[in-house]
Amino acid sequence: MTLHTSRREFLHEIVAGAALWPILGRAGGAVSPTPAFAEEAFWDEIRRQFSFREEVIPMNAANLCPCPRVVAARVRELTRDVDVDCSSHNRRKFLDLLEQSRAKVARQLRVTADEIALVRNTSEANNIINNGFPLETGDEVIVWDQNHPTNNVAWEVRAERFGLQVAKVSTPTTPTGKDELISVFERALTPRTRVLALTHVSNVSGIRLPVRELVDLAHKRDIYVHCDGAQTWGVVDLDLSEIGCDSFTASAHKWLCGPREVGLLYVKAKYVDRIWPGVVSANWGREVEPRPEGARKFESLGQRDDAVLAAIGTTVDLHEHIGFARIEARVQELATYLKDGLKDEGFDLITPMAPALSSGVCIAAVDGENRSKLVNGLYQEYGIAGAGAGGLRLSPHLYNTREHIDRAIRGAGALRRRI
């Protein structure tokens, strides 16, 4: 595949044959009204665009996803291009390819390209915010106790260094509606609160916070809102301008199914100049004038892997052609099917059933002693790769089929009865 692949060539690489064309032609970003058998045929063909074997089924999108063949091929071709000619003259084109990736990500998230930095992962993006946002001694940061450590412990580390106050909010373990989640944060806010640091979807419970409502609540008090979206970029049809958060972070290697070691940092335009970068390297993000600097200043990180940065654009192209809303609807369908099946097998769910309160992260209550037995048994005996974060965690994605879910349910039930 050449560096300047046409749309026709790109789609040909995706479908690898004619079988998917009639179904893909109806995608266009909306859920197709096609009969169930046609819709399943569509997703069966999507599954074939991933190279994993049926003997080992990935069902841990909350941690790491496989790349589709077209993205892996793009990375290989671009890597080979650099190896053939690593001169600065040849590599100059990667500046344009990076900007193409940035523009596609911005369009996907409904924000501007100048508000997007492509860093290395969610952890780095979170740390840029919690180290770079200006705060003074005595200022307060409110965090959700289910935040990832890079959006939780990292704030505590900064607090120890600079005399800040960090308060943790605990939400109901089995929320039945958004109001239960909103009210606990509302009670936690004080006149000293300067930052509200949230996680869109928890990786240890699967609870989905009503971020838009929490942003409105915080902004009325002039509080900055940071959102870790590691569990939503690539699976939720995101509109960051509508959600309204002031910064948002994620990783390409999770639900986006992109190449490893690329992370997303969105910073609302009015805050870009106020936040300090975590790393200052050559040019400090000032690439080519008169291009606006914007959030590019946060990705001045030294030598990067040009191939994976360019391949982010290819990854977004694939998601866009399938349809962002269609992907979200499919994952909700699989997650609901999985949760229903686990309940039928006698598991108590930690993750809410309601789609408004959850996404693709599905967690069943299993005690610590038996958790590893279940996770290991599913992998070794049933070929299902899940995780033990917060319980038995299974996170299906667009490459999973209903047959994969059936296997996971059957295996989890059999192992539960055995242990």
Spatial CA neighbour of 198 closest among 148, 244, 159, 235? 148
- The whole-angstrom separation of Cα 148 and Cα 68 is 27
In terms of C-beta distances under 8 Å and separation of at least 24 residues, what long-range contacts does 64-67 make, across chains too?
64/253, 64/254, 65/234, 65/253, 65/254, 65/255, 65/256, 65/257, 65/397, 65/399, 66/257, 66/399, 67/257, 67/258, 67/259, 67/315
Structural domains of the chain ordered from first start? 95-318 (3.40.640.10)
- The whole-angstrom separation of Cα 293 and Cα 273 is 10
- For 309-318, how does the pLDDT look when each residue is reduced to its tens digit (9 = 90+)? 999 999 999 9
Residue stretches of the chain with pLDDT short of 70: 1-38, 283-292
Dihedral sign of CA atoms 226, 230, 234, 237 in order: negative
Looking at residue 406, its pLDDT comes to 98
CB atoms within 10 A of CB 366: 24
DSSP H or E stretch at residue 2:
none
- For 367-404, how does the pLDDT look when each residue is reduced to its tens digit (9 = 90+)? 988 999 999 999 999 999 999 999 999 999 999 999 99
CB atoms within 10 A of CB 27: 18
- The whole-angstrom separation of Cα 36 and Cα 221 is 48
Looking at residue 7, its pLDDT comes to 43
DSSP, residue by residue, 237-282: ---HHHH--SEEEEETTTTT---SS-EEEEE-HHHHTTSPPS---G
pTM beyond 0.75: yes
Tell me if 107 sits within 8 A of 247, measured CB to CB: no
Tell me if 104 sits within 8 A of 317, measured CB to CB: yes
Looking at residue 368, its pLDDT comes to 86
Looking at residue 281, its pLDDT comes to 82
Looking at residue 52, its pLDDT comes to 97
